[in-house]
Structure 1
Amino acid sequence: MLAPSGKIPSEGSGDNSGPAQTAASNWTTQCTGIKTLHESRGCAVVELTGTFEPAVATASGPDDSHPNVPRRWQAQYRLDRGSRRLFYRVRFSPVAEEGLAIEEAWRRRPVLRVATAEPTPVVRAMMREKLVRTSARSFQTSLGYVIDEDERATLIASESSTIHRRSGDRFFDSLLTVDSADKIANGDTRHGWDTVSDDAKSGEAWSGWQSFAFGFDVKHPVAAAKSFAMGEPVWAVPIASNSGSLAKASPRGWLIHPSPSSLDVQIVDVGRVRDSGAAEDSDAKQGQPRELMALHLRVIQTASRAASASLRFCRDVDSVYEVSSLSRPFRRDTGNGELTLQRLAEISNPESIQQEGDRVRWSHPSHGVVHMVVLFEIGGRA
């Protein structure tokens, strides 16, 4: 984390800008304390506190013409055992309520800096649940971004819309806010923070917490960023074993397994489909049409490449139908009434997706979105 004005400028403006100018910055970031708030076999939380102080070369304090510029900061790190994500949150004092233009905010607000091992890495910003490669000096994301290097991929996930920019060849800055806690969603419980520091009990006015998550080689960066933004903690699935040995533990299963891993699967609706034609079948119960459980899925290709996609379910699939992205056949306000298999066949393209056993396959376009209705026999074998 860097103090205001203690940053490499994002845009060069002559000989007076660049990394060399950083040494003449007005402020420096100093850490005055570090302590462990929580330590157990499953989780550890460490807290750092510090101040923004004038640099040695500066005779006066940090821009006294703006009294609401933050002077103190408090940051906490949390690491869960076995997790690929490091959770981070930070807040400042005093609180600054006035609004600033973007250029002014970059000078008078602190930033969160990320350094890379390699120069000029590939950056993929998350825009509308898709990873979009960007070479822009400054960019804004709602979920965060991914830094792709030859030997690693790092996810920087944010809980709200954040402005980022490149600083030099190896640094990326995220603009932080110092608004009051009333204007920022409370992340104390949303992200599993259950520790309270001494500063929180002192009554001093602090800004709201801003939370970030750093993921290291996560398989599903968009899903991980969405889970973090929603504030839902990811609980570990307990392994039941009578003997206590992990080698003899009961096997785990899945509900939906996507391939490739860049697919983001979302459940739009759950409903039932009635097959009225099955009432005439000799195998069906006389006078009773067959009912099928239905999942309306939205599948998004987050990567910028076409793929031969597939979904594998925990049980056999009866049939699958591709529907329009604007279609909501299970919503009561659409006026469709009871959905039958015959009506579903009329509003869909059943030939575009192949089904075999518990797996469905189709060709997915680059950054494309596919809507499908997957049917399962009620009471059938898993």
Structure 2
Amino acid sequence: MNVVQYLAGSFFLVLLVPRAFCVAPSGCVEIDGLYECTHGTVSLPMTETSFSAPVAQRVRLVSASGNLNTNIFSSTFDSIDTTQFDANWAATFEIKCNGGSVTLGQSTFARMNHIRDIKIVNCGITAPASTFTNLVYLDRLVIENGSVATWDSGALSGMQIVKLSDPSPAYPVRTGELIFRNSKVASSAFLSDFIVSQGRIETLILEGMGIDTLYATMFSNTTKLRFLSLGYNSFTSMPTGLFDGLNSLAELHMYDTQLDCNCSNLWLFEHAQTTKMKIRGDITCATPADWLNYRAASYYQANCVTVEAACGSGMILMNACITYFELAMYGVCAWAFILAIIVLILVIHTKRQVSGGHGSSRKKKGGPGKKPPGGKKRPPNGTKKGWA
């Protein structure tokens, strides 16, 4: 064996050593610190002591289906050593389906009060009351690429989604967000009070859910909300007062949204102007027919905004709103221009006077004069009839 082969073999053994010390229960495999366990193969409930090097900080249950209203983690997870957690990650539990349906329940997330990040992917979900109670605090709840068959209005009660300022154990990225993305709902009715208990959410994303109705009070308790996305849904109207009390809301995303364009339904543009809230997205008109697919903002400006109404802090000149501040600045500029002209005139006048004075004094004193013919000098002044 040559040196190169020996070194290559040694390096390969070094790579295998960490895997050799990694222990996972049957039906689970460790992938870069995440344990992926196959539903139906792994024995439930899983015990914390069956995971080691690393500890079960991040677990994903794949091929999930059927009734999951049963303990997935055993009581041994109550004493998990959080001091061994990797500070680059939040403690995470994921449920991933192959397009099938799952029934969740209070037992699903028992023994998981150390978990801060829950993700449910590709699942048709049924979530009864108090489904997430045992989680106590979450930083993020994500449900995407599936469907929502049933969601009880109290499914989120008993826990809080919150951006913790000083979590223990620590993790780098904290969001305080609830995300429903590309998960169609059987009915929009559950939205009326589904986050009534979540007063500390800062980010809420409800995209691609097929929502056809918004409710005036659906966000009334989320007073800390800073970011909201309602894009890729099918509602065409927004009830007045939808954002009342959301004084922290700084940004609204409405991508791929069509609204019935009339002045009462497009109140959000005036609201955005008043509160300085940013609106992002291609909001277009569904009605009237002659405005179909045109920008809703253009309709609003053309039909709902009068110059008088938009010029509350100024005056109208030539169909344009000039604020009093702008008028004052224009006045200052006009005076500055006039003063500049006066100063220029004075400078020119002064220079001419100075130049004229020098010329007349030279005339009085006389110059060297011309020499007389023949090259003779002139006689001195006062001498009569030439030289003596």
Q: TM-score range by the shorter chain?
A: under 0.3
Higher RCO (C-alpha under 8 Å, 6+ residues apart): 1
Bigger strand share: 1
Q: Output the TM-score relative to the length of structure 1.
A: 0.25
Q: Output the TM-score relative to the length of structure 2.
A: 0.25
Bigger helix share: 2
